[in-house]
Amino acid sequence: MLAQDVIGDLKRLVGPANVLTAKEDLLCYSFDGTAALQQMPGCVLFVSTTEEVAKVLTFANAAKLPVVTRGSGTGLSGGSLPSPDCIVLCTVRMAKILELDRANLTMMVEPGVTTLQVADAAAAAGLFYPPDPGSMKISTIGGNVAENSGGLRGLKYGITRNYIMGLEVVLPDGEILWTGNKCVKDVAGYSLKDIFIGSEGTLGVITKVLLKLIPKPAAKKTMVATFSQMDHAADAVSAIIAAQIIPCTMEFLDRTTIHCVEDYAKIGLPLDCEALLLIETDGHPAAVADEAARMEKICREKGCMEVRMARDTAEADKLASARRSAFSALARVAPTTILEDATVPRSELAKMIRFVAAVAKKYQLRIGTFGHMGDGNLHPTFLTDERNKEEMHRVEEAFKEIFDEAIRLGGTITGEHGVGLAKKSFLPKFLGDAQMRVHRELRHILDPNGILNPGKMFD
């Protein structure tokens, strides 16, 4: 519990209506999208301006109170999980699109704007904001920057970092820092904005984001290819990349996921296959037609059972929704869904998929795997029940093996969901001593009192 005088001070800083302290309200902010993690905060604050954020951090820093910044709470590594008796600083009401600059192809937004609102505003201006995490309907841009989120279009267009031109950040002591600008080129000083991208709420609170937009692709084609063997699907992906085709999306679902999605969304997916690839190509109409034809040919050569080409936008959206609903569909079949994002170089994908299946068998666990196949980014998803302690132990052991194997194959412990609490114990082994030391020193310089997101990423 936070002391009453502290609550009183916070109410004076942001207004009493913007401070939640009732147990039933705090409960809603005691978890994020990560399974099996929960912690009650001391209070929840809604901030509306950069100045309010600065006042709150100045106060918290002086009083050495922990602050956990929160967007929509969809994070999958426990990043916005409260620390005990912390202030949850929620940015969802900082939700204005401040400027769309058509001359420079940029958009300035507050952190609480959702990813979808950004994408829609760009599209309304005939432009394109490509990063599209599966959670984009509700995830905030602040959360996307803090997690350096990826998405389905990462293969061709990159991830959030590739679209950040500038950031306004409130540092832990309350100082307001602006880094970056609208220049396409700028090499003056260290690229400080890059330190805050992916910093998971540990180095500052992001209060404005200057985004890069690009021209909207003129055409798009969507297809679904089904395979009787996962290896054939992985081979098709490798062959497409080797043919120097970079589709904007190359996602896959395994058999368990296909069945769950079909049961949930009734899309009409074929149920007699082991793997399904959802492929989208976009760009100039002639290039799109050519790439689609070449990819269809490659899939057939690699032994696919069927290729279904979407006839129109409605059908394309329906097929794409198969992948977008994968997590929700899997979440329906078991009380606890633990979704991970082990990532390997694309050349190692088939090996990694086989390894995940073998680990699930070894530990007798139910697993559905889907993911961004073109990026080597897998989402092995264990369907379990957190009340079953013995099974949860087996899940933990299985994940340890999966992450060890990902590292062994030259991959990473997280391709997009971040370290947070969930991957904290794996980080030192992955980064090594020198990188861990620089991480610690950097954090200590910016946050000497350790008030921002304490206990996350590393101690």
Closest CA to 72 of 128, 122, 153, 136: 136
Q: Which of 41, 42, 66, 71 binds ligand FAD (CB under 6 A)?
A: 71
- When the beta carbons of 140 and 281 are compared against ligand FAD, the nearer one is 140
Question: Are the C-beta atoms of residues 28 and 80 closer than 8 Å to each other?
Answer: no
Give yes or no for residue 377 binding ligand FAD (CB under 6 A): no
| 336 strand-pairing partners | 384
Q: Which of 82, 133, 180, 371 binds ligand FAD (CB under 6 A)?
A: 133
Q: Report 184-203 residues binding ligand FAD (CB under 6 A).
A: 200-201
Q: Which of 346, 417, 423, 443 binds ligand FAD (CB under 6 A)?
A: 417
* Buried-exposed string 12-51: b where 16+ CB fall within 10 A, e elsewhere: ebbeeebbbbeeeebeebbbbbbbebebebbbbbbbbebe
Shortest distance, position 334 Cβ to ligand FAD, whole Å: 15
Report strand pairing: 87-90 vs 67-70: parallel
- When the beta carbons of 139 and 226 are compared against ligand FAD, the nearer one is 139
Site size toward ligand FAD (CB under 6 A) is 36
Which residue stretch of 130-138, 239-247, 253-261, 349-357 sits at the interface with ligand FAD (rule: CB under 6 A)? 130-138
Shortest distance, position 364 Cβ to ligand FAD, whole Å: 26
Give yes or no for residue 70 binding ligand FAD (CB under 6 A): yes
- When the beta carbons of 70 and 423 are compared against ligand FAD, the nearer one is 70
Shortest distance, position 164 Cβ to ligand FAD, whole Å: 13
Give yes or no for residue 139 binding ligand FAD (CB under 6 A): yes
- When the beta carbons of 80 and 292 are compared against ligand FAD, the nearer one is 80
Shortest distance, position 268 Cβ to ligand FAD, whole Å: 22
Q: Which of 140, 281, 381, 414 binds ligand FAD (CB under 6 A)?
A: 140
Edge-to-edge strand list for the sheet holding 366-372: 304-309, 219-227, 275-283, 249-254, 366-372, 377-384, 336-339
- When the beta carbons of 298 and 380 are compared against ligand FAD, the nearer one is 380
Give yes or no for residue 206 binding ligand FAD (CB under 6 A): yes
- When the beta carbons of 25 and 301 are compared against ligand FAD, the nearer one is 25
Shortest distance, position 77 Cβ to ligand FAD, whole Å: 8
Shortest distance, position 311 Cβ to ligand FAD, whole Å: 27
Give yes or no for residue 35 binding ligand FAD (CB under 6 A): no
Q: Which of 6, 59, 67, 74 binds ligand FAD (CB under 6 A)?
A: 74
- When the beta carbons of 263 and 301 are compared against ligand FAD, the nearer one is 263
- When the beta carbons of 75 and 302 are compared against ligand FAD, the nearer one is 75
Q: Which of 66, 130, 151, 217 binds ligand FAD (CB under 6 A)?
A: 151
Rounded CA separation 263/303 (Å): 26
- When the beta carbons of 76 and 310 are compared against ligand FAD, the nearer one is 76
Q: Which of 42, 150, 166, 371 binds ligand FAD (CB under 6 A)?
A: 150
- When the beta carbons of 135 and 226 are compared against ligand FAD, the nearer one is 135
Interacting residue ranges for ligand FAD, rule: CB under 6 A: 32-33, 68-76, 79-80, 91, 111, 133-135, 139-140, 142-144, 146-147, 149-151, 200-201, 205-206, 327, 416-417, 453
